[in-house]
Amino acid sequence: MPAETWRLLDTGVSDPYTNMAIDEAILLEHREGKTPPTLRFYAWSPPTISLGYFQQLEKEIDLEAVKERGLGLVRRLTGGRAVLHDDEVTYSVVAREDHPLMIGGIRPSYLRLAKALAAGLRELGAPVEIASGRKGGREEHTTAACFDAPSWYEITCGGRKLVGSAQTRKGGVVLQHGSIVLTLNGDDLFAVLKMPSEAVRQRLLAKFYHQACGLEEVLGRRVEAGVIKENIVRAFTRLYAVEFVPGGLTEGEKGRLKELRAKYAAADWLKRR
């Protein structure tokens, strides 16, 4: 069977507004049939808190603490809870809802993408598993942080979450993006989350480190981001017969960036929920 051709993008390090604008620009151009399915890798400067689309900013985030720690802050197009993007490899995938990797709804598509991500990490020697979902019961306090517990089909190691992902579907197109954590930084994340008391903050921070991990801790060594990306690309190719063609943003995507970046940088977008 001939391989399907996808575009491979590595857009490097950008500010939070540009990163989110690029993901949406890819979605919009793909929706119009102007680009192939795309796998993108990127990174963040400064380290940034990204809020899920439905989170309430004033209720969950201490803006003064964000400023004091020199962090960026942006609201994603996707749902889920707050993520600190720091020492990580961030990926995004854009493809149509009727693509074989995306059909069947959110959970089946999460599982297919997770299989490729997990296979790439296993090539590095990481004994990762794909979580089947949350267990029943309600915690004494649920934080606004994404990585404090695994959700459906997210990637764990020894029960601790290593990769967190979020997805949205708009106009027949799926955007899924996520964080492959290299070293975990719970201190900055929990410093900016609003908590009922400092005692609760410290208790939940300790719990967070028990429930999440970074790849460097898992492997006991540092792995360069480029090696991680190469392994994930090979895993997609092996599992799904995808041939990746390295490329750049199209003129259409570039043309959308100014307006989209302004949207993500605007206070009304950040405070919208």
Task: Please tell me the number of Cα atoms within 13 Å of 52 on its side-chain side.
Answer: 20
pLDDT in tens, 68-120: 999 999 999 999 999 999 999 999 999 999 999 999 999 999 999 999 999 99
Count of structural domains within the chain: 1
Q: Give dist(CA 91, CA 177) in Å, integer.
A: 5
Q: What is the pLDDT of residue 140?
A: 42
Cβ-count burial of 263 within 10 angstroms (0-12 exposed, 13-18 middle, 19+ buried)? Answer: middle
146 is catalytic: yes
Q: How confident is the model at residue 17 (pLDDT cuts 50, 70, 90)?
A: very high
- The active-site residue out of 28, 146, 228, 235 is 146
What's the CATH number where 239 sits? 3.30.930.10
pLDDT greater than 60 at residue 183: yes
Q: Are the CB atoms for 72 and 46 separated by under 8 Å?
A: yes
Q: Are the CB atoms for 176 and 135 separated by under 8 Å?
A: no
Range of the domain at 73: 4-271
Q: Give dist(CA 46, CA 71) in Å, integer.
A: 6
